[in-house]
Amino acid sequence: MTITTMKKIMLLMALWSATMLSAQFAPQIINVEARKTTSLNGVWKTTVDPFENGYYDYRWKPMKNGYGADKDITDKTTLYEQNFANERTLIVPGDWNTQRSEFYYYEGTIWYRKRFNFTPTENKRTFLYFGAANYEAIVFVNGKELGKHIGGFTPFNFEVTGLMKKGENSVVVKVDNKRAFEAVPTVNTDWWNYGGITRGVTLIETPATFVRDYYVQLKKGDKNTISGWVQLDGKQLDKSVNVEIPELKIALQLKPDANGYATFECKAKPNYWSPENPKLYTVNIVTDDDVVTDQIGFRTIETQGTKILLNGKETFLRGICIHEEAAFRNGRIFSKEEDITLLEWAKDMGCNFVRLAHYPHNEQMVRQAERLGLLVWSEIPVYWTIQWTNPATYQNAENQLTDMITRDKNRTNVIIWSIANETPQSAERFSFLSRLAAKARSLDPVRLVGAAMEKEEVKPGLMTLKDELSKVTDVLSFNQYVGWYDGLPEKCDRVNWTFSEQKPVIISEFGGCAVFGMHGGTTDRFTEEFQEDLYIRSINMLKRVPGLAGVTPWILKDFRSPRRQMRDIQDDFNRKGVISDKGEKKKSFFIMQKWYEELKKQYNK
């Protein structure tokens, strides 16, 4: 062998090991709970770093040996100005604002560090998965920077095969929740910007070629055909893959194409999922060395004129809006139990529908709603005034939409993907949002596309929806606050509604504030009596809305918002909840409960 050939071989080997070791952003792996995992949840060391000194040097250049290197202090001669070992901790998952009183209003960077023992399994691949980190996360594994993820409510994962070693490993994450004009959401929102690694962190081990993603749903408008696809990931992409639904006696063998993608379609007569019968089937996606099991239901969803048809039957969406904020303690939800508390309250009110506002909630929220028979409106935080002409802002919004749909597209209860909330009309906004709507439909041809738009008073007492975006959405969905931001509750008695399009109308928000236990006259703002009267009059008005197919009052529970500053009344909370932040039901809750009882009888005849 000549020296040049040897050099070539060595170069090739070096390149090979470099690619083997190179960690990268990997396409989202779905249904993480069904895989072989190691949880990295629990106690993490943290460093508060408002000036980002752990990442940038004094010339504002990224540093080689910043905090991500996770160095141990071994001698006294070297200068260190930070030491994870000696630092305080935070719990993951969880927001930082509610874990330590000094972080109540903190927005900026906090570094997280976890050291743990791990033994990679031979011939398996390893991925590092984050349920969500708000807002920007830069991730390091054993000192190597893997990449940056932007967006506070969607999952992301990196492949770390070859980077994890037997014995102690380190993961460091720089999380930054500073608000920014180009971000999604932008600087101004009516909810608190909880920072941190707010959802779980997991190591996933998979076979060399594995089932990364799949879509199993009834075909659009066809109650008797299940169709979908499977996506393999790895080198042996042509291996056969089976889709099994044992209870329906379905067992299909698929042969993926060169990209590891296989589609299928088969006849079936499932017992349909509905709020009254939230039936789920065990579905197995199987290869020779991988199996992913899911619980999937089957239903059709479509519109016909002003009606919403679920399994072909007209349905009224008896809903409520929900923020992903925990009952009783406030703060971002960090457990399934906390999801269930909110969903049970919605059930108690008589709901068959929840609007998960204003961003994708955690995966368990959607899964538990599915189990409880609650239909879902799922939304991305394109909220108020974002930068419509900024291509990076568009890409960010599209990524969040894509990640939300990727994660939840097999959830039978999700019926509407919402692309925006109360965005001001302009040609630029129209082109941005029409692109997003088209993207949603290309990723999921089955569900409806909506957006929370805004009503307009075209002449005194006559309201309508005058928004070009309604030509793009499947439903005429909009927020309206007649009686709160628009006049007093008595205005509801004088208002009528008209629409030029024949589509189902969903009132995606209405309501007003009340402090639980504060009493007074029906025109005294912030009293329970005011809110109760507003709900009574709003309901009477809503009954006059032509084509009304659903409502989601704002909101289930009082929630933290820095915009709400009135002392002893708001105290940093938006008080529009029908339940207080301490779990007390206000009078308005019972007004809704009564109306939903009537609607249930009317529609379930």
d(CA 593, CA 320): 11
Q: Which residue number, 138 or 382, has a Cβ lying nearer to ligand GCB?
A: 382
Q: Which residue number, 67 or 383, has a Cβ lying nearer to ligand GCB?
A: 383
Q: Which residue number, 298 or 559, has a Cβ lying nearer to ligand GCB?
A: 559
Shortest Cβ distance from residue 479 to ligand GCB (Å)? 5
Q: Residues 507-536: x/- map of binding to ligand GCB (CB under 6 A)? A: --x---------------------------
d(CA 194, CA 96): 7
Measured in degrees and rounded to the nearest 5, phi and psi for residue 208 equal -55, -40
Shortest Cβ distance from residue 123 to ligand GCB (Å)? 49
Residue 174 is a binding residue for ligand GCB (CB under 6 A): no
DSSP 143-188: TEEEEEEE-SSS-EEEE-TTT--SEEEEEEEEEE----TTSSS-S-
Lookup: tokens for 586: 């206000």
Shortest Cβ distance from residue 558 to ligand GCB (Å)? 10
Residue with tokens 């960690």: 23
Three-state SS for 442? helix
Q: Which residue number, 163 or 555, has a Cβ lying nearer to ligand GCB?
A: 555
Shortest Cβ distance from residue 561 to ligand GCB (Å)? 7
Number of chain positions touching ligand GCB (CB under 6 A): 9
Q: Interface residues for ligand GCB in 292-331 (CB under 6 A)?
A: none
Residue 538 is a binding residue for ligand GCB (CB under 6 A): no
Q: Is the dihedral of CA 274, 340, 355, 229 positive or negative?
A: negative
DSSP 356-418: E-SS---HHHHHHHHHHT-EEEEE---BSS--TT-HHHHHHHHHHHHHHHHHHTT-TTEEEEE
DSSP 75-127: -SSS--S--GGGS-EEEESS-STTTSGGGTT--SEEEEEEEEEE-PPTTEEEE
Q: Residues 455-494: x/- map of binding to ligand GCB (CB under 6 A)? A: ------------------------x---------------
Shortest Cβ distance from residue 540 to ligand GCB (Å)? 21
Q: Which residue number, 368 or 508, has a Cβ lying nearer to ligand GCB?
A: 508
Residue 554 is a binding residue for ligand GCB (CB under 6 A): yes
Measured in degrees and rounded to the nearest 5, phi and psi for residue 8 equal -60, -45
Shortest Cβ distance from residue 357 to ligand GCB (Å)? 7
d(CA 321, CA 554): 5
Shortest Cβ distance from residue 190 to ligand GCB (Å)? 4
Please check whether residue 33 is in contact with residue 130, taking contact to mean a CB–CB distance below 8 angstroms.
Answer: no
The residue whose Cβ lies closest to ligand GCB is: 190
Shortest Cβ distance from residue 422 to ligand GCB (Å)? 5
Q: Interface residues for ligand GCB in 563-592 (CB under 6 A)?
A: 574, 576
Angstrom CA distances, 576 to 255, 269, 573, 585, 589, stand at 53, 44, 9, 12, 11
Shortest Cβ distance from residue 484 to ligand GCB (Å)? 8
Residue 421 is a binding residue for ligand GCB (CB under 6 A): yes
Please check whether residue 464 is in contact with residue 455, taking contact to mean a CB–CB distance below 8 angstroms.
Answer: yes
Q: Residues 344-373: x/- map of binding to ligand GCB (CB under 6 A)? A: --------------x---------------
Q: Give me the residues that bind ligand GCB (CB under 6 A), please.
A: 190, 358, 421-422, 479, 509, 554, 574, 576
